Structure 1
Amino acid sequence: MGFHTKPTTFVGHVKIKVEKLERSIKFYEEVLGFHVLEQTTSSAKLTADGKISILSLEQPENVVPKQRGTSGLYHFAILLPERSDLANLVVHFRENGIRFAASDHLVSEALYLYDPDGNGIEVYADRDPSGWSWVGNEVEMTTIPLNIENLLTSQVAGKSWRGMPEGTVMGHIHLHVADLEKAEELYVKGLGFAVVNRYAGQALFFSNEKYHHHVAVNIWNGVGVPIPPDNSVGLKSFTLIFANEEARQDAIDTLKKVGAAVTEENHTFITHDPSGNTIELAV
């Protein structure tokens, strides 16, 4: 469908901070079925296919627990290739006593849970985009209970959850911000996304190439919330993948026009949204 491949601009990778690296690795391996691609004493890169990392864990020095009432991560969202993969994950969760929530968003079906540090995780499967309902430039989304038993009918006989399947990608990221208007300016005017849903004056959903959303922001932690300290559990950064060098440079130029600083560190271009969420700009 092209929503997570070039030339679409999409979230390719998320880095989160955790309190105890080994505990987190065990969770992401055993509960979600990731594999460790690379590991140091303070970080680990996780993969679904054994080749590309879509999620990294980092244990900061003097780490402190996740701070309430701040900007930062609401959840990152892992997109599975097939509905049957999501059904298999439900069975895996049930068999292992893993607590989760489940929602139907019309455009997708989703499971929600937290890692041991309280970082929010969504795992979802998209419905066919031909069935998404668009009113003008906005896609219809909602949150209603997921029909688990109907989902389980998509299971393939003889197959069970054997970890994150090949083809799994980072589907989107959802952030707490301090100000919706300032966030919109950064993500739309600065980064070139389009607003595809405005939710009750509380949240905005941004996308490229008519996806239901690649990035979402909300003010559910409060308007004007502070930025969490660097050594706290939560979001370290997320990476946007641009089609080519020219597209990235265009984004850098427009970011500067809206007053956002862009720096280069070790050949990586980095910016921050107005609420302090760190964004790496990659090709």
Structure 2
Amino acid sequence: MTTRQKTDTLPQGTRIGRTALRASDLGELTAFYRDVVGLSVQQQSESTAVLGVDETPLLVLERDADTPERQRSGAGLYHNAFRVPSRKALGDALTRIRDRWQLSGASDHLVSEALYLRDPEGNGVEIYRDFPREEWPITDEGTVHISTEPLDLESVEAAAAGDDRAPPGTDVGHVHLEVTSLDAFEEFYVDTLGFEVQTTVPAAYFVSAGGYHHHIGANTWNQRTSPVGGRGLSWFEVVLPDTETFEAIRNRLTDAQVAVSERDAGFVVEGPDGIDVRFRAES
């Protein structure tokens, strides 16, 4: 697949904000993200829980006991990726996972060190920390090179300090989607929105703004063929660094005849595979 050339790219400071999951058992899922991932419960009702770090919300859980399980053919979430600010914090996360849950994978990606697991309803979770940006390998084309190498888990755990909560500075570094078409993904996220392709591997794209290694990943590894639905991903949020960029994206989407709906001091659009993407400007 040949990537397209972009001129109207998203600027430095563009980032992922909140992500939202449809939950069958709100209490069980809330406890997992609190006790294993280490987020704090900021708001909770019978229908919704909001978790984050300090006063920053990162994850919204929306209870729907009647929602069916995600279909095996359905597009949606591959994983939410929570980025911690240090190797010590990654070691603390590994300790919590080993004490309270089950690790399903771990990798050195040359740009980051990552731990992988699944929540009680099968949603993928990544907890990772970045290497210093000046150490990231750069290709001859000027993009970031991402690889998958074994991670030395014992040295990660040795860095732990015993903290039971994710520290200040933790955020959602990226979201990785399972899609039905990489062409449709690229047309929307790269050609229309202005993300830049950083790395491609067989059946997967990794795109970003401002030279980050990736803000959004997409793959067709499991050959999903139908739109998002059932439990799992409800929506995710792209935060733009200023109102000028926010308005430019709104105009770009309108020009592309994408329906824009106002929502929560921003707007929401339906992207490929029926995945809702929310946009707001940095406050």
TM-score normalised by structure 1 residue count: 0.90
Question: Which of 260, 266, 269 is 2:267 aligned to?
Answer: 269
Show structure 1 runs of 4+ deviating over 6 A. none
1:45 alignment partner in structure 2: 50
Q: Does 1:58 align with 2:56?
A: no
1:141 alignment partner in structure 2: 146
Change (3 A) 1:257 1:89: same
Q: Which runs of 5+ in 1 are unaligned?
A: 1-5
Change (3 A) 1:27 1:227: same
Deviation at 1:257, TM superposition (A): 3.0
Change (3 A) 1:183 1:161: same
Alpha carbons 2:21, 2:234 under 8 Å: kept? yes
Deviation at 1:108, TM superposition (A): 0.5
Give the residue type in structure 1 aligned to 2:94.
V
2:102 alignment partner in structure 1: 98
1:3 alignment partner in structure 2: none
Deviation sequence 1:53-94 (CA, Å, 0-9, x none): 111101125221222221111101000010111112222322
Question: Which of 129, 132, 139 is 1:128 aligned to?
Answer: 132
For 1:113 and 1:153, the matched residues in 2 are separated by: 20
For 1:187 and 1:74, the matched residues in 2 are separated by: 17
2:41 alignment partner in structure 1: 36
Deviation sequence 1:32-57 (CA, Å, 0-9, x none): 221111112111100122x1111110
Identity of aligned residues (%): 34
Q: Does 1:220 align with 2:224?
A: no
Change (3 A) 1:266 1:196: closer
Question: Which of 69, 72, 75 is 1:68 aligned to?
Answer: 72
Alpha carbons 1:190, 1:257 under 8 Å: kept? no
1:111 alignment partner in structure 2: 115
Alpha carbons 2:103, 2:115 under 8 Å: kept? no
Secondary structure of 1:139's match?
coil
For 1:219 and 1:100, the matched residues in 2 are separated by: 20
Please report the RMSD computed on the Cα atoms of aligned residues, expressed in angstroms. 1.7
Alpha carbons 2:265, 2:280 under 8 Å: kept? no
TM-score normalised by structure 2 residue count: 0.90
Q: Which runs of 5+ in 2 are unaligned?
A: 1-10
Alpha carbons 1:186, 1:255 under 8 Å: kept? no
2:280 alignment partner in structure 1: 282
Alpha carbons 2:197, 2:208 under 8 Å: kept? yes
Give the residue type in structure 1 aligned to 2:162.
S
Alpha carbons 2:112, 2:131 under 8 Å: kept? yes
Secondary structure of 2:274's match?
coil
For 1:20 and 1:97, the matched residues in 2 are separated by: 17
1:79 alignment partner in structure 2: 83
Alpha carbons 1:7, 1:242 under 8 Å: kept? no
Deviation at 1:266, TM superposition (A): 5.4
Give the residue type in structure 2 aligned to 1:240.
V
For 1:100 and 1:199, the matched residues in 2 are separated by: 21
Deviation sequence 1:153-211 (CA, Å, 0-9, x none): 434xxx213211111011100001111111111111221111111112x1111111110
Q: Does 1:11 align with 2:24?
A: no
